[in-house]
Chains A and B, each alone.
Chain A
């Protein structure tokens, strides 16, 4: 009887301990922010460091070719308006998702490319996660490599950043977890042998060894949402863009690594 009571008290204490550790959703101090890169093995880091070993560069090279290829009813290529991407696209990815005047909401880099196709090339949009869209996005984003992220500073974006933040904090799914429960509170721990990381979106689109392919931030978010057994949003959903926007503004000041490599 006495031992049963001791166990019950212990269980209660343990439950209280878990509850407080899950409730203390603390933002990561600026000085402790770390890219996913720093959680990787030296082998995977070496793969990202060497442009001839980094498989993401295959998409960047494809993107460079697409930049110059004509498309749509107007028969224009990206290069016809934007000229040399090395100059015109420098720093662009560091500012995305950005506010689109016509739509009145933020759009991410993939959506910007497709808007450009629709408005200026009069071409059909490229499918999310298609090789061409990933290649163009990777090529554009690579022009900002090494530059500091500055997304979300536009005052018009404020309500959208706030909504992204809300979504990041909100518990959902059968596991009843919010992004914050892992990526703010437990980023120094492991989940099934893998580092949890801080969810800093510094290298997208990036090459995941698990995917054996390049993938977008939206793909990563959808996989995470599936992981907590919640209903995933469709590609291009405003909720995903708001999450992207919040994550990018949360990583403000960190360097772009595109195309990064991750396990």
Chain B
């Protein structure tokens, strides 16, 4: 199932500051809620998002239970060279998702 939406500009001038937007499908269950029967609903969250630009890590975020479902995370970087952004989300219960996007820098 498709689970991530990535928005990276397809083209940029060298030195441009570009915005990168990521949206990941996830329930972000806090671990603080209980069922009607009183049992704890186990925590199930994304714990980290990393972004690599041509292999080099340029952004990392740690996520916590207070973050809403389907986390939308945006950040800025400088377009230095053409290539690929690789995104990786890691979470509880062995959750891993990856996505990538290409950029042409002139």
Contacts and interface: CB of A to CB of B under 8 A. Distances in A.
Contact of A52 (B5, B28, B69, B70): B5
Given A212-B68, A212-B69, A52 B2 contact: no
Interface in A155-207: none
A212 B70 contact: yes
Nearest to A58: B25
A58 B2 contact: yes
Interface string A7-30: 000000000000000000000000
Interface in A67-109: none
A52 B21 contact: yes
B77 interface: no
A53 B23 contact: yes
B1 A52 contact: no
A173 B68 CA distance: 33
A51 B72 CA distance: 12
Interface string B40-81: 000000000000000000000000000011101000000000
B11 to A, nearest CB: 16
Contacts of B103: none
A238 to B, nearest CB: 29
B7 A62 contact: no
B3 interface: yes
Given A52-B21, A53-B21, A55-B23, A61 B72 contact: no
B90 interface: no
A62 B2 contact: yes
Interface in A200-223: 209, 212-213
Interface in B1-34: 1-3, 5-7, 21, 23, 25, 27-28
B100 to A, nearest CB: 15
B54 to A, nearest CB: 22
A64 interface: yes
Nearest to A211: B69
Contacts of A212: 27-28, 68-70
Given A52-B23, A53-B23, A61 B2 contact: yes
Interface in B75-98: none
B2 A65 contact: yes
A243 interface: no
Nearest to A55: B70
Q: Considering residues B1, B6, B28, which has the most beta carbons from chain A within 10 angstroms of its beta carbon?
A: B1
Nearest to B72: A53
A57 interface: yes
Contacts of A51: 5
Contact of B2 (A50, A53, A64): A64
Interface of A: 47, 50-53, 55, 57-58, 61-62, 64-65, 209, 212-213
Given A53-B21, A212-B27, 11 more contacts: A53-B7, A53-B23, A53-B72, A58-B5, A62-B1, A62-B25, A65-B1, A65-B2, A212-B68, A212-B69, A212-B70
